[in-house]
Structure 1
Amino acid sequence: MAEIRPFCAVRPQADWAEKIAALPYDVYNRKEAREETAKHPESFLCIDRAETQFPEDTDPYAPEVYQKAHDLLYDWIAEGRFEKEKKPCYYVYEETREGRTQTGIVACASVDDYENNVIKKHEETRAEKEEDRIRHVDACNAQTGPIFLAYRKNETICELVARAKEKTPVYDFISREGIGQRVFLIDDDKEIAQLKEAFAEVPAVYIADGHHRAASAVKVSERKRKANPGYSGEEEFNYFLSVLFPDEELFIMDYNRIVKDLNGMTQEDFLSRMKEHFRVSPCTKEERRPKEKGMFGMYLGGQWYQCRIHEKDKSSDPVENLDVFVLQEKVLAPLFGITEPKTDARISFAGGIRGLDYLEEKVDGGWAVAFAMHPTSIAELFAVADAGKLMPPKSSWFEPKLYSGLFIHELN
């Protein structure tokens, strides 16, 4: 059963929250991060991507970059931009995008639950990406970006969340990206106990987004445990910052693929090979978005196509049944030789938030072909994780993202 416990958050003063709140560090490339922090020097991105505070040719992984993250964080705390909760609390975090709302519980999840697979994963992590966040957490002695967790809906938790949302929010603003942000405090001892007990009845929680941040938090915990062999298990470094959402409220967007060249094939050859596993038919721009599982859109040579998976290529296996797996195994690997999509420079990934016009722009601008995917469902994600398997890279894009800077978990 899951241990989800309250904590003493370091969080912005109410009049600073809107200025500080920032999208996660990894949704920006280096150029975008510099532009964002130049426009908004009070954004938490200045801390999450501290290389933006140095000349452009600075190594983003240099020791002084992580030291700068530490110095900025504690300077801002000293200046009074943040306050620390006086007792361990839970927080209700509501996000609204285009009229659609999702509401989660901000809390700390257990490193032991991660290692014992009570917290289930569906994605591999890369050592170099882990190392960046390990060094960031180590330097700051704090977790600054929450892990996005999901669980199967629980009525008791729903009732407690609804009750909390009847109170006056501690934050209520629209982010720079147009996402409604509201936060409510659960500080009543009875309600805290009820919420902790309710989560103890949840058999498993799932990482929806943030596998690298979670893995990094666990590695930092392991190091601190080794450095403190007499640790009790109650220390803050045994837990990591999370926001937990019920499955029914989550929205997954498509995660699309763009390929640089046709690997020596003509367009005619490529279309012929595609028809071995798919029913391929031209379609209009209005029909380009796949309407159901088992199909995807394809943009090639200025023309959109609908591609439907042949029945013989469908599977009951939770991974092999994923549209992104079928595309990888039937198209990307055999036709393009893209066997390592995480590292192959010939493939680019585009989260659904960019829209399908972006795919057209890339292909019209010189890339060879784009694939518009049907979104992976939360049920598919749970099924893969429950089976102890892993999804292909870039299988799901959750929207809206969790903002950084609103909740900080110190490891003291």
Structure 2
Amino acid sequence: MAREEAWLPSSVTETSEPPVHRTRIFADLTPLRSSPDYRRLWFGNTVSWIGQGMTALAVSLQVYDITGSAFSVGLIGFCSLVPLVVFGLYGGAVADTVDRRKLGLFSASGSFSLALVLMAATFAGVENVGLLYAIVALQAVCFALNAPARSSMIARLLPPEQLPAANALSSMTSTTGALVGPMLGGLIVGWWGYRAAYTVDALTFTASLYAMWRLPSMLPDREEGAGKRASVLDGLRFLAGRPNLRMTFLTDLCAMVLAHPRALFPVVAILWYGGDARTTGMLVAAPALGALLGGVFSGWLGRIRLHGLAVLLAVGSWGAAIAVFGLTRHLWLGLLFLALAGCADTVSMVFRNTMLQAAVPDEMRGRLQGVFIVVVAGGPRLGDFLAGSVADLTSPAVAVVGGGTACVVAVSLLALKWRGFARYDARDPQP
């Protein structure tokens, strides 16, 4: 593949935009049209995310059918969280050492093999919770190895000016999987059983495998320090000395740790809205739906150049929307503010990912994406714990309103301490 062009002078990104960008409302599909490799990768990921969403629900249902224990179902999340955190950093270091295409193909093959094992065990009538836990944990390991390699490839496949559009499309992939996957999984399990759900998941992985197989070789650009093995500690040291990149993680932690009320939705559904499990489902789905709509109507994001300021405003908007959600006692109004929070999260994610792709040298991209996985996997879990603890000590309203307010305050303090982040310009990306 030709050498990456992401580090050309800023004049490359200052070319005038065609008129269509000034009036664009819906998602910019330019990355899908301009790069066949990216198009295959995006399609394969979208299909496989839906399949994984189906399997995640099916495994939860099967564990509950076997054990009748909600605690046993909760352990599924623990089985996936630990490998994601532990192997996320390691996977990033590996992605900065080997051919990223081969790493992506190897890890995707591992996920495909595990899907086949799950399918075969179900057809054989094996009902073993330990086996299900082990498969979930190993799938998390494969994802932790695959995600940094896959994310690091995007900046090699597309020019810098298309990265915001590509990240908006990626957000649609994950939110579509989170919404459509469980819905289809529930229908398929209800109609045809676990065998059918696991079989469909295995089939969907072939799309991701094909996309990886068709990619060109993608060795990391390691001109400086060639032959030196990539180190996780080197990646953390690099991040420690780069305030703009560090802020992308700190702002996300403000949102996910301080203002993440998901764990309180079952309680809120009953106490605030007099609802039931269906109400809880609506509360869970609202942020995801807002995030999806944020991706669908993301055409305007390509015109934004002050990415740091956009992140600050988006994370602040998330916190404000969560705080207002905690004040309302009307269900549809509450769902509206949760959807607005999800939309703000998409905007934040698009620009944070773009900064990680554009302002990071290619030889460090894998490790920074590994840190991203750890933050994304660990932040919401810490947020669940914090929200639940505060709600037990005080009340759900204090936990939700206080968390949203704390998020706004924390982001404001970070913006005051590192003022240069708000001036980060996509035309001259500085880490």
Q: TM-score, normalised by structure 2?
A: 0.26
Q: More strand by proportion, 1 or 2? A: 1
Choose 1 or 2 for highest CA Rg.
1
Q: More helix by proportion, 1 or 2? A: 2
